Structure 1
Amino acid sequence: VPGLEPGFLLTVSRPRGYKNTALICKAVEALPGTRLVVVGGLPERTHGWDPRLTGLVGVSDAQLAWLYRNAVGLVAVGREDFGLTPVESYSFGRPAAVLRAGGYVDSAAPGVATTWIEEPTVAAVTAGIRDVLATAWDSQQIRQHADRFSLASFQARMVDAVDEVWRSTR
């Protein structure tokens, strides 16, 4: 992505209130030297955002892949039924700081790929981001965790489930 240096935090979300993008932006503003890229664009704000925050819209699949590969981690604080963005981040070997709620609980791997954000407050998001930045992550372990959500893993689990039902009816 032209003009972006690797080493930023990433959040991927449409501008919806429940995604808590403004909260993530405020938390990053409280962390000197930390940069954030917001795919979906920065939330509206009367006095603007710190220049360390970059909003992007109209991002191609190739650009999104570059962003995941070059991020130090993802931050996700929305209330989601599943929450795909952390799994996408994991597939690129990148950790995520996520809200301990909703679907994020099902896809998280604390200590392997995930740090928790305990509540949707600036202080809690800042703490979660600090944990992501301070941890020495193993990108291979993170990718292995993401493999649990791959098409091949899903197909294998479906075959196993059908086999189990088939055997139980005989």
Structure 2
Amino acid sequence: MKVAIVHDELVRRGGAEQVVLDMHKAYPEADIFTLCYNPEKTYEEFRKAKIFTSWFQYIGKSEKLIKLLYFPFAILAMRSFNLKGYDIVLISTTHCGKFIRTDKDASVVTYCHTPFRLAWRPFSYSIVRSSNLMIRNIFLFASRILRKLDLIAAKASDFYLTNSKEVKARIEQSYNPDQPVRIINPAAKLDNFYISLEDKDYYLVVSRLEDYKMVDLVVRTFNQMPDKKLIVVGTGSKEQELKALAGDNISFRKGQSTAQLARLYANCKALIFPQHEDYGITPLEAAASGRPVIAFGFGGVRETMIPYNGDSRACTAVFFDEQSSNSLLAAIEKSESLEFDPVFIRNHAKSFSAPNFIAKLKSFVSKVYLQKMSLKLNDIVSEAIDVSGRPYQLELANTYARKKVA
């Protein structure tokens, strides 16, 4: 079984890129095809993989340029790939991965992290919500075009996998696939994290610094609590704005190594997770470190976390119900009154391990491949019957009969 792996682009460190790494662990001989690749900006493990990039590699290897040149250049660049000779094409995508061309005999399995936001949920972008009428209409016009193109590309997938119930419903509503959408939860890199017995004196945010991540909510809240320390890890377009907003009790870090990030997780009081995320890897990374999560209680955390419900020794998170400082403050105060069990929290994270993800993925892909082979075998048998036909069978019978008479 020859497998190809496709991913939108490899220019960042995020949950989707971790999924691709686990795909590659499942199929280490698989070629990886992507729009562009920047080894300095994504996970080091990709350096060991065989990666093929499109011509977009020569005009842009950053998130900003991909967004700027997405239509039409990123789409056209992904369409320039024509994958031949692969039995399985395993696509990881939120936007352009599904535009790749494949052999008609290949089975296309798409792990969709979410349908393309600009096409299907344009108002989830702050620039669309806050722009004047003319700019907003331009975005909405582009959104309608992208939605049509995205839907056409989506129909090329034979099977859909995804990360959570929320995204499953979104895929069904957007793409209406022929086959049921299967959920395989992404894994956290448990081996990278550990439980620490050191004293905890700070809270932690690990996030891209973008508007929808709601890091500003956390910063504003901690500005009201100058006696509590907050460390924010990440980069993004809101970095300077957030730094200007932050009080002296808030510090920012970026470019953290695996070991540095693991230490920050292990020694925090809790991870603050203020956004509505489709899935969210960072809460699982905190859990792998034995640390609780203070989370906005909607989206993927409902599937990965066990909220406090009277027994702090058997929970992994404290949820808050509104994205407001008052609600977050109440959740922080509640968490400080509880005694969590680090061993229970880490053991819960183990159910989201990479081996579990890989086993489920390989099982699904194997079933797809065997089903494809079975159909091919049936076609070959049917063709053989059609070619030989009844006259040939009659001739054999007549020959046998003549020999018996003689």
Q: Settle same-fold status: TM greater than 0.5.
A: yes
| Structure with a larger share of its residues in helix | 2
Q: Structure 1 residues 47 and 40, CA, compared in 2 at 3 Å: closer, same or farther? A: closer
What residue number does 1:126 align with?
Answer: 329
Q: Structure 1 residues 93 and 45, CA, compared in 2 at 3 Å: closer, same or farther? A: closer
Q: Per-residue deviation at 1:153?
A: 3.3
What residue number does 2:224 align with?
Answer: 30
Question: What amino acid is the match of 2:338?
Answer: T
Whole-angstrom distance in 1 between the partners of 2:240 and 2:354 = 34
What residue number does 2:208 align with?
Answer: 14
Q: Structure 1 residues 46 and 148, CA, compared in 2 at 3 Å: closer, same or farther? A: closer
Q: Which digits, 9 at most, give the CA deviation of each residue in 1:27-62, with x for residues without a partner? A: 122234211000015561596421110111111111
Question: What amino acid is the match of 2:317?
Answer: T
Whole-angstrom distance in 1 between the partners of 2:243 and 2:231 = 19
What residue number does 1:149 align with?
Answer: 352
Structure 2 unmatched ranges of 5 or more: 1-198, 309-314, 366-406
What residue number does 1:72 align with?
Answer: 269
TM-score for both structures, normalised by structure 1: 0.83
Q: Structure 1 residues 46 and 59, CA, compared in 2 at 3 Å: closer, same or farther? A: closer
Q: Structure 1 residues 105 and 44, CA, compared in 2 at 3 Å: closer, same or farther? A: same
Question: What amino acid is the match of 1:127?
Answer: A
Structure 1 unmatched ranges of 5 or more: 163-170
What residue number does 1:87 align with?
Answer: 284
Q: Per-residue deviation at 1:106?
A: 1.1
What residue number does 1:165 align with?
Answer: none
Q: Which has the higher contact order (CA 8 A, sep 6+)?
A: 1
The answer as to whether partners of 1:15 and 1:43 remain within 8 angstroms in 2 is no
Q: Structure 1 residues 145 and 43, CA, compared in 2 at 3 Å: closer, same or farther? A: farther
Q: Could you tell which deviates more after superposition, 85-94 or 120-129? A: 120-129
Instruction: Check if 1:135 corresponds to 2:338.
Output: yes
Question: What amino acid is the match of 1:108?
Answer: M
- 1:11 aligns to what SS in structure 2? strand
Instruction: Check if 1:116 corresponds to 2:319.
Output: yes
1:100 counterpart (288, 291, 297):
297
Q: Structure 1 residues 54 and 149, CA, compared in 2 at 3 Å: closer, same or farther? A: same
Q: Per-residue deviation at 1:79?
A: 2.0
TM-score for both structures, normalised by structure 2: 0.37
| % identical equivalent positions | 30
Q: Per-residue deviation at 1:108?
A: 1.2
Q: Structure 1 residues 47 and 37, CA, compared in 2 at 3 Å: closer, same or farther? A: closer
Q: Structure 1 residues 45 and 64, CA, compared in 2 at 3 Å: closer, same or farther? A: closer
Q: Per-residue deviation at 1:161?
A: 7.9
Q: Could you tell which deviates more after superposition, 148-157 or 67-76? A: 148-157
Whole-angstrom distance in 2 between the partners of 1:120 and 1:68 = 23
Task: Please tell me the root mean square deviation across aligned C-alpha atoms, in Å.
Answer: 2.6
The answer as to whether partners of 1:96 and 1:132 remain within 8 angstroms in 2 is no
Whole-angstrom distance in 2 between the partners of 1:46 and 1:55 = 8
Q: Which digits, 9 at most, give the CA deviation of each residue in 1:105-138, with x for residues without a partner? A: 1111112110001110011111112222221010
What residue number does 2:22 align with?
Answer: none
The answer as to whether partners of 1:10 and 1:36 remain within 8 angstroms in 2 is yes
Question: What amino acid is the match of 1:28?
Answer: F
Whole-angstrom distance in 1 between the partners of 2:359 and 2:243 = 51
2:234 counterpart (40, 51, 60):
40
Q: Which digits, 9 at most, give the CA deviation of each residue in 1:62-97, with x for residues without a partner? A: 110010011011000112110111000000000000
